[in-house]
Structure 1
């Protein structure tokens, strides 16, 4: 007995593959994000995924772009709302940390670096750069203060995603301590010039 598969448009098929790749990344880590595993997850063929992404590296780069765009959009919205006084800067910290931890950006970034596939990180780095440029255009800040705070927050979030839980445990600190430190640093940052 054959099972009829729903016919998807190219865009729907690509989106389904990226969603499956993201789920595999979160569930089992970056090494689980293979063309074969993604194809099996969405009921498509390996050849179908090759058509959309060209290679496993192409899938990984598309996944990095997908994560980068969705995360920076949410973080950007939170930053602008926090600056307007509608939200607490802790939300910016939580969104950034969650992106690297719960959404898999930290594991993916580390894997790309360690496997020598640094080009796959370009979409994430480009998204962060566009976000900083957008915020800088709308808000005054001292020199490189915004870029420095972005670097600080992203590196803290990446480090926490990779080593935060065992490090906090080893030091006898609550799991959320790195987020508290990042929030304190963000609140103390000289992002606005003196009047």
Structure 2
């Protein structure tokens, strides 16, 4: 009889989050349940209940996991862009892909529809931390910080909206599919130019 490898609590939790992320991308947020994740990783429902407390807890942990990994990647891209090693479009693509291809937009929409709004807190908090960490590097005044916060808000809302209905809306308006990304890129380029001129 084969025995399962004994995992540490952290390894078990990470395995569950990776499975939840795969389910989110493959079949959508409605499939991110304790039962589905448990089946995928060969664990019991009770085991996942122990780690996350509920399906809502699993979704909140998944949101935090997505936010942390995505924001770390965006932070690296922002720094590369500032060093002249990258382009603002890379930052835009990372943000848009996080909400679209990585499923954060669908997860956010699902959590709002199911009344699990506090599960969005990790995403909001992680983005805020990212901005607060990056902003002092280029912001000299309170107005600079506020402008960076406004641009972050615009970028995230564009990425979220694009993930939820960008394809249909762009098609309806006769615009190319990447119209929202191009708008976000223009916004970031203008922002960088304004900081360089100041």
Q: TM-score, normalised by structure 2?
A: 0.93
> In structure 1, what is the equivalent of residue 187 of structure 2?
185
Q: Over residues 63-122 of structure 1, what are the superposed CA-to-partner deviations in whole Å (9 max), with x where a residue is unaligned?
A: 010001001111111111111211000000000000000111101111111211111011
> In structure 1, what is the equivalent of residue 64 of structure 2?
65
SS in 2 for 1:189: helix
> In structure 1, what is the equivalent of residue 177 of structure 2?
175
Higher helix share: 2
Runs of 4+ aligned structure 1 residues displaced above 6 Å come to none
Shift of 1:7: 2.0
SS in 2 for 1:173: coil
Shift of 1:136: 1.2
Instruction: Confirm whether residue 45 of structure 1 aligns to residue 44 of structure 2.
Output: yes
Q: Do 2:106 and 2:164's aligned partners in 1 also have CA atoms closer than 8 Å?
A: yes
Task: Point out where structure 1 has 5 or more consecutive residues left out of the alignment.
Answer: none
Distance 1:143 1:44, change over 3 A: closer
Q: State the distance in 2 between where 1:143 and 1:104 align.
A: 29
Q: Do 1:140 and 1:193's aligned partners in 2 also have CA atoms closer than 8 Å?
A: no
Q: Do 1:99 and 1:105's aligned partners in 2 also have CA atoms closer than 8 Å?
A: yes
- Number of residue pairs matched by the alignment: 194
RMSD over aligned Cα atoms: 1.5
Shift of 1:194: 5.0
SS in 2 for 1:174: coil
Q: State the distance in 2 between where 1:193 and 1:121 align.
A: 34
Moved more, 152-161 or 170-179: 170-179
Shift of 1:3: 4.5
SS in 2 for 1:4: coil
Instruction: Confirm whether residue 13 of structure 1 aligns to residue 12 of structure 2.
Output: yes
